[in-house]
Amino acid sequence: MTEGPGLRRDNFDWERFLELLGLMHRIRAFEEEAIAGQKEGLVLGAIHPSIGQEAVAAGVCGNLETADLMLSTHRGHGHTLAKGADGLAMMRELFGRKGGTCGGKGGSMHIADFGVGMLGANGVVGANIPIATGAAHALKLQGSRQIVTCIFGDGAVNRGPFMEGLNWARVFDLPVLFVCEDNNFSATTRTREMTGGAGAGARAESLGIETTEVDGNDLTAVDAAARAAIDAVRAGQGPRFLTCHTYRMTGHTSVDPAAYRPAQEVEEWRGNDPIARLEVALRMAGIEDAQLTELHRSEAAAMAEIARTARETDWPEAAGAFTDVQDVGDPRERAY
Amino acid sequence: MTMSTYLEAGRRAVIEEMERDASVWALGEDLGRGGVFGQYKGLQEMFGTGRIADTPISEACIMGAAVGAAMTGTRPIVEMRFSDFALCAVDELVNQAAKARFMFGGQMRVPLVVREPVGMWRSSAAQHSQSLESWYTHIPGLVVVAPSTPADNLGLLKAAIRCDDPVVYMEHKNLWGLEGELPEGDHMVPLGKADIAREGRDVTLVTWSGMRQGCLKAAETLASDGIEAEVIDLRTLWPWDRDAVMASVEKTGRLLVVHEAVTVSGFGAEIAASVAEALHFRLKAPVSRLGAPRIPVAYAPTMEDEARVSPARIVAAVRKTMQPAEVS
């Protein structure tokens, strides 16, 4: 898509969008380094890239406060970075090294950073929905002004916990924003072929939750819709539901060639790249090309440095396998 | 000391812990009306609808919400009605509650208690009668508790609520009306400590939950034949009190593990194997196990009793253990 939104510099929050553009570059650079690292054997397990979906992470999390809570998915690097987690600690986690976000115990699919309100990616599709709902339930019991944001993919809407969690959030009027990051695919199957009815938003509405749909590759649109929903949730209006339509530019995992989708479709979406679209909008707002190029270069360079540092970091001690299992009962009881 | 039922003891534990700690709350179906067995009777009037929360019939979300709420500074008591229904929430317990602290590198704890009543009582058939405790002992991260007396239900439930680990707390449905003395004051029973329910020199019976009563009855019968059985009620299955069991079997030289659950892959196998490994040369007889056959529990009493470990069956199993070893 080459047309910009036609915004003028004077009514366009270009400073904020430049910051979010930098965040999107950071997310993409992180995943490009991770994919390269996997080819080298540095990333040890599966990774699920979100390349092409960065506007959802940046647009939603860019409206959250650090104290707010967020739960993510197996495809969660972008959400985690956008919530404020440290890129180096995350890269170390993917490389299984000391100083990783979870000390090397979780890897890509189990990144959490409670210090910035990131309550965990999850290896089980939809499992974050009841957990997010419960976190919001606790916040309500505590009378907190914090809110919870729960991001999941379109595949999650076919799991029972989706219905149970949304219903619960409505029944108890909880401060939670549900974000369906609809990238069209449930692993390697087209979601619409496996979904009855009109899908995510219609299901949320059937449970009495106000719903918004937005072009998930348009950062400015995601940003505006997320802000409105988050304001409503924080004002005590109960749960909100936001569907962001986007597209996964890679396969399900970094090693999935995704041959199940037509090349033309992928090319069309490549032309709808959220980073390129925001750059067009910023150019129309009067930002110089040189500034945009420099932003990209500096984020990519910083991430390359992070990857270099991560690969030089030591492995965690083996003894860590026995820590943080549980307080009661010795996990060494049947150890070798 | 005051007399109390097992059910009332559990209710007192919840009241005492909710009064002591404002972060403790309970969630589950029908709690406002006292819960399915009356374990929460009057608690909503005492603590309000926020802290005694009625929920939809959404076991996965009850458990999952408790995980999220436990990560967010509260200490939820999860009520599952029947342990059989807790199977609808196994992902939330096994993949989430049990794993979160470890896989997130110790950034947080998941201090929750899952109350899931177990066991056979009367014609409740295959989906309301199971004892699946061994499944949970297999899961790193979980504590598994199965109290068998009113005093233990008070003290262990309080300890479970104060524990920072997720605790699977299995009360036995057939014990709700059991009466016993409760100590006054803040009665705590440490997790992981067995209770020697009866001392004896000839054979060690290791048991828990609903089978404690059956073992004690069997021990009386055996005593009239001059066989003195020591009955050890484990109370906590993970971690189990290895020291108490080993000390007893060192003394008696004989072990029979008795549980209501299906024998095959029951927790008795873990105890029997551990004792055989550690005390092989001190044993006077092979270690043995007594549990249910590998059949679902039937409805009609004639068939239901085929799944029931009765005192008579315990007596018979002990007599077999006491026979002189035959060399083949």
pLDDT of A335:
84
Residue that finishes a domain, picked among B132, B152, B182: B182
In terms of residue numbers, what domain contains B162?
2-182
Catalytic annotation on B128? Answer: yes
Hey, are the CB atoms on A114 and B108 less than 8 Å from each other? yes
Hey, is the C-beta of A105 within 8 angstroms of any chain B C-beta? Answer: yes
- Nearest-CB residue to B74 (from A100, A104, A141): A141
Is residue B75 classed as helix, strand or coil in its secondary structure?
strand
What confidence tens digit (pLDDT) does each residue in B223-250 have?
A: 999 999 999 999 999 999 999 999 999 9
What is the residue-wise DSSP string for B139-186?
Answer: STT-EEE---SHHHHHHHHHHHHH-SS-EEE--BGGGTT-EEEE-SSS
| Total beta-carbon pairs less than 8 A apart between chain A and chain B | 155
Instruction: Check whether A2 has a pLDDT greater than 60.
Output: no
- Nearest-CB residue to B141 (from A102, A326, A333): A326
Report chain A's mean pLDDT, rounded to a whole number: 95
Contacts (Cβ under 8 Å, ≥6 apart) of B241: B192, B193, B194, B232, B234, B235
Claim to verify: residue B32 and residue B154 sit in the same structural domain:
yes
Hey, are the CB atoms on A124 and B91 less than 8 Å from each other? yes
| CA atoms of A19 and A24, how far apart (whole Å) | 9
What confidence tens digit (pLDDT) does each residue in B51-102 have?
A: 999 999 999 999 999 999 999 999 999 999 999 999 999 999 999 999 999 9
Report chain B's mean pLDDT, rounded to a whole number: 97
| CA atoms of B233 and B236, how far apart (whole Å) | 9
| CA atoms of A66 and A116, how far apart (whole Å) | 5
* pLDDT band, residue B327 (cuts 50/70/90): low
Claim to verify: residue B31 and residue B161 sit in the same structural domain:
yes
Residues of chain B found within 8 Å of residue A328, distances taken between Cβ atoms: 143, 163, 165, 191-192, 239
Are A327 and B111 a contacting pair, CB within 8 Å?
Answer: no
Claim to verify: residue B206 and residue B57 sit in the same structural domain:
no
B55 lies in a domain?
Answer: yes
A122 lies in a domain?
Answer: yes
Claim to verify: residue B165 and residue B218 sit in the same structural domain:
no
A233 lies in a domain?
Answer: yes
Searching chain A, which residue's CA lies closest to the CA of residue B240? Answer: A329
Claim to verify: residue B89 and residue B176 sit in the same structural domain:
yes
pLDDT of A138:
98
In terms of residue numbers, what domain contains A136?
34-311
Hey, are the CB atoms on B165 and A326 less than 8 Å from each other? yes
| Six token digits for residue A225 | 């819709």
| CA atoms of B89 and A325, how far apart (whole Å) | 21
CATH number of the domain where residue B168 is located? 3.40.50.970
Hey, is the C-beta of A113 within 8 angstroms of any chain B C-beta? Answer: yes
pLDDT of A10:
59
Give phi and psi for B26, each to the nearest 5.
Answer: -125, 145
Hey, is the C-beta of A131 within 8 angstroms of any chain B C-beta? Answer: yes
A6 lies in a domain?
Answer: no
Hey, is the C-beta of B104 within 8 angstroms of any chain A C-beta? Answer: yes
A325 lies in a domain?
Answer: no
What confidence tens digit (pLDDT) does each residue in A114-138 have?
A: 999 999 999 999 999 999 999 999 9
Claim to verify: residue B149 and residue B62 sit in the same structural domain:
yes
3-state secondary structure B79-137: ECCCCCHHHHHHHHHHHHHHHHHHHCCCCCCCCCEEECCECCCCCCCCCCCCCCHHHHH
What confidence tens digit (pLDDT) does each residue in A157-212 have?
A: 999 999 999 999 999 999 999 999 999 999 999 999 999 999 999 999 999 999 99
Hey, are the CB atoms on B71 and A105 less than 8 Å from each other? no
Residue A12 vs residue A276, higher pLDDT: A276
pLDDT of B325:
63
Claim to verify: residue B17 and residue B56 sit in the same structural domain:
yes
Which residue has 């991260």 as its token pair? B141
Hey, is the C-beta of B58 within 8 angstroms of any chain A C-beta? Answer: yes
Which residue has 């009777």 as its token pair? B41
| Six token digits for residue B283 | 């044993």
0.90 surpassed by pTM: yes
- pLDDT mean over B159-185: 98
Residue that finishes a domain, picked among B182, B212, B237: B182
CATH number of the domain where residue A79 is located? 3.40.50.970
A151 lies in a domain?
Answer: yes
Hey, is the C-beta of B277 within 8 angstroms of any chain A C-beta? Answer: no
Searching chain B, which residue's CA lies closest to the CA of residue A115? Answer: B107
Claim to verify: residue B293 and residue B201 sit in the same structural domain:
yes
Claim to verify: residue B124 and residue B209 sit in the same structural domain:
no
CA distances from B198 to A88, B194, B233 (A): 59, 12, 9
* pLDDT band, residue A80 (cuts 50/70/90): very high
Hey, are the CB atoms on A161 and B191 less than 8 Å from each other? no
B309 lies in a domain?
Answer: yes
How close does chain B come to A279, measured CA to CA in Å?
36
Searching chain A, which residue's CA lies closest to the CA of residue B140? Answer: A325
CA distances from B72 to A113, A266, A328, B303 (A): 13, 41, 21, 47
Hey, are the CB atoms on B106 and A165 less than 8 Å from each other? no
What confidence tens digit (pLDDT) does each residue in A149-158 have?
A: 999 999 999 9
Mutate to test the interface with A, among B31, B57, B61 (most CBs of A within 10 A): B61
A1 lies in a domain?
Answer: no
Residues of chain B found within 8 Å of residue A137, distances taken between Cβ atoms: 65, 68-69
Instruction: Check whether B172 has a pLDDT greater than 70.
Output: yes
CATH number of the domain where residue B216 is located? 3.40.50.920
- Nearest-CB residue to A161 (from B60, B69, B102): B60
Hey, are the CB atoms on B67 and A131 less than 8 Å from each other? yes
| Six token digits for residue A16 | 């904020």
Claim to verify: residue B153 and residue B235 sit in the same structural domain:
no
A155 lies in a domain?
Answer: yes
* pLDDT band, residue B37 (cuts 50/70/90): very high
| Six token digits for residue B80 | 């599952």
| CA atoms of B140 and A329, how far apart (whole Å) | 10
What confidence tens digit (pLDDT) does each residue in B285-295 have?
A: 999 999 999 99
Residue that finishes a domain, picked among B123, B150, B182: B182
A279 lies in a domain?
Answer: yes
Active-site option among B128, B172, B187, B259: B128
Instruction: Check whether A3 has a pLDDT greater than 50.
Output: no
Claim to verify: residue B200 and residue B107 sit in the same structural domain:
no
Hey, are the CB atoms on B73 and A142 less than 8 Å from each other? yes
How many domains would you assign to chain B? 2
B256 lies in a domain?
Answer: yes
* pLDDT band, residue A245 (cuts 50/70/90): very high
Is residue B38 classed as helix, strand or coil in its secondary structure?
coil
What confidence tens digit (pLDDT) does each residue in A270-290 have?
A: 999 999 999 999 999 999 999
B211 lies in a domain?
Answer: yes
Claim to verify: residue B267 and residue B145 sit in the same structural domain:
no
* pLDDT band, residue B140 (cuts 50/70/90): very high
Hey, is the C-beta of B105 within 8 angstroms of any chain A C-beta? Answer: yes
How close does chain B come to A235, measured CA to CA in Å?
20
> Angle, nearest 10°, between helix axes B311-322 and B211-224?
50
Give first-to-last CA distance, chain A, whole Å. 59
Residues of chain A found within 8 Å of residue B61, distances taken between Cβ atoms: 130, 133, 161, 164-165, 167-168
| CA atoms of B152 and B196, how far apart (whole Å) | 13
Give first-to-last CA distance, chain B, whole Å. 54
B87 lies in a domain?
Answer: yes
Residues of chain B found within 8 Å of residue A83, distances taken between Cβ atoms: none
Q: What angle do CA A127, A131, A137 make, to 5 degrees?
A: 150
How many domains would you assign to chain A? 1
pLDDT of A336:
86
Instruction: Check whether B318 has a pLDDT greater than 60.
Output: yes
Searching chain B, which residue's CA lies closest to the CA of residue A331? Answer: B140
